[in-house]
Amino acid sequence: MVTYQNAIVNFAMNVPTGHNPYIVVAHHLVGLLVPPPIATWARWLQRVVIAGYLVMFIQSCRLTYMGLKRRSYQRVGFDELGIIYIDSITASGIAYTLYASLVITDLILDEVISSGKNAVAVWIIVYGYKFLILYYLGLSFLWTCARHCASLQWKSPRHIGPSFGRSNIPKLAPWIMHLILIVFFFWPIAPVIYQFAAAKNEYNLIKNIVLSVNQELLQSAGSFSPKSYKNYQLLVNLVPLQSVIGHVAFTPFLFYALQGLYRYRKSEFYYSDTLVMSNQDNNQELRLMANTTQKKRKLVVSRVLLAYTGYLVQGPVMTWQLATARDWFFLDPNWLIGSHLGLHGPQMISGNITLFLLVYTIRMHAPSCKDNLPTIRMASKTLKDPGTRNKATPSNNRIEPFSSLNTNVLQIIDHTEYNIHNIGSIETLLQHDTNHTPSLRNCEVMSEKPTGLRTTFESDIGSSNNTKPIKLVSRRYIQNTNVLEE
């Protein structure tokens, strides 16, 4: 601050002759309250960044809609290990929506300030609070990774047989993890809100002092006479500016770049003679589970690499900003270019790629998710006579996707319609074509009802009262270990 005080004094002492020094210094002080305009090339590049964040906003809104549309998923709850979880898809969509909105507002406010309007106080708040959203975005993803690591450690899929799905997690582990989560969730709220609100208040105090001095200078300008003018007369009007030294104009103390270590572990199935199930369908189910798990892990690793890339690029920029942060550094055009382009640019690229991967994953892998498939209840799995109707209990005849029916039974004509009242059981329907030997693993039931995907067919499926045609459309076949897509 002392450097800028000396610069103002030197400027006042060296006003060119032929000009009213009071008016010249008054205009100079008002100009110090707003950042100077940046270079033309940087201005156009900043508008490209704004367009990129508009794309991010649209993608994040779409991701949020797709996440909320999955009604079968619980947003918040506890998993099998007793660890709290959140729907990462919906949380990421909401966080990216808020972050993109704040960045767009930040850059638009900079455009407004460059046009001559003073909106620095609002810009300080928006500039600081957007890093809080970015912090929670990283914390949410890091918590998801921590949950997966805990699942791999204490609930490994290699426990097949009687111990499948069981966990040996210590009782204190969930409590410790939740305590760490609470600490990391709440600790940045008060410092960020307080510091950036204080920076806004300090700027308003500086603005009031400068405007009061500016008013006195304009009043003294009316009595200016080049013959009787002395430099000390002008300096007397600048004495109140010394009180500005005690105020902080701007404090970008917090640049959140969360870099969580995630130890990627490939999940493998180890079989022994006592644990291998005799049914070949179960082995195919396990292979499909492993294949799906690997796809999800590749997505997780891709998100980690994108996050690391964005943060590693931001690291040198933040180091340069802290090293060059001197008195009123936010008035430096180079510092503003590094802040708007160096910090926002990498996050824009990595964020858009991450959102694209998330949306792509939901669209491509949603049909293979168990929660999106119908539950079929049939009369009997061992029905020999198609006309027989055995009222079996749903618990014994509940056929879930990836069930353990014999591969010779699960044969279907692709894209073929049948009338239910002509079908005695679901096995009869699946035995109409003997030319297709691959076993059905993903079947979508489409009826005339809008809720056909989640229709539950009870044990009286052969009833003549229900005469609406249905279509069974095979989405994925599994033969041995190969997954054949349509």
Provide φ and ψ at 72, rounded to 5°: -75, -10
Give the 3-state secondary structure of residue 446.
Answer: strand
Tell which of 321, 355, 371 closes a domain: 371
Structure token pair of residue 436: 């297709």
Q: Is the pLDDT of residue 174 over 80?
A: yes
Claim to verify: residue 292 and residue 379 sit in the same structural domain:
no
Claim to verify: residue 144 and residue 287 sit in the same structural domain:
yes
315-342 pLDDT, tens digit per residue, is 677 667 666 655 556 666 777 777 778 7
- Tell me the average pLDDT across 450-473: 35
Rounded percentage of the chain residues whose pLDDT exceeds 70:
49
Q: State the helix-helix crossing angle for 88-114 and 120-154, rounded to 10 degrees.
A: 160
Claim to verify: residue 161 and residue 272 sit in the same structural domain:
yes
Q: Any idea what DSSP says for residue 247?
A: S
63-to-67, 349, 353 alpha-carbon distances in Å: 6, 17, 13
Claim to verify: residue 362 and residue 436 sit in the same structural domain:
no
Q: Are 120 and 180 in contact (CB under 8 A)?
A: no
Q: State the helix-helix crossing angle for 189-221 and 120-154, rounded to 10 degrees.
A: 170
Claim to verify: residue 52 and residue 162 sit in the same structural domain:
yes
202-240 pLDDT, tens digit per residue, is 777 778 877 888 888 888 777 777 776 766 667 666 666
Claim to verify: residue 69 and residue 95 sit in the same structural domain:
yes
**Residue scoring higher pLDDT (456 or 241):** 241
Question: Is 89 part of any domain?
Answer: yes
Question: Is 273 part of any domain?
Answer: yes
| CA dihedral angle for residue 145, residue 146, residue 152, residue 157, rounded to 10 degrees | -60
Claim to verify: residue 272 and residue 342 sit in the same structural domain:
yes
Question: Is 106 part of any domain?
Answer: yes
Question: Is 216 part of any domain?
Answer: no
Question: Is 211 part of any domain?
Answer: no
Residue 135 lies in domain: 33-188+254-371
Question: Is 286 part of any domain?
Answer: yes
Rg (CA), the chain: 33
Q: What is the pLDDT of residue 457?
A: 30
Tell which of 321, 350, 371 closes a domain: 371
Q: Any idea what DSSP says for residue 81?
A: T
Claim to verify: residue 363 and residue 421 sit in the same structural domain:
no
Tell which of 317, 351, 371 closes a domain: 371
Q: What is the pTM of this model?
A: 0.58
Q: What is the pLDDT of residue 167?
A: 64
Instruction: Provide the domain count of the chain.
Output: 2
73-113 pLDDT, tens digit per residue, is 567 778 777 888 877 778 888 888 999 999 999 888 888 88
Structure token pair of residue 44: 């156009």
Claim to verify: residue 367 and residue 381 sit in the same structural domain:
no
Claim to verify: residue 361 and residue 441 sit in the same structural domain:
no
Residue type, 245: I
Q: Residue 76 forms beta bridges with which residues? A: 86
Largest CA distance in the chain: 120
Q: What is the pLDDT of residue 242?
A: 58
- The CA-based angle 165-169-170, given to 5 degrees, is 155
Question: Is 12 part of any domain?
Answer: no
Q: Any idea what DSSP says for residue 250?
A: -
Q: Residue 77 forms beta bridges with which residues? A: 85
Question: Is 223 part of any domain?
Answer: no
C-alpha span between 289 and 287 (Å, rounded): 5
Claim to verify: residue 90 and residue 77 sit in the same structural domain:
yes
Q: What is the pLDDT of residue 5?
A: 66
Structure token pair of residue 268: 């493998």
Claim to verify: residue 398 and residue 473 sit in the same structural domain:
yes
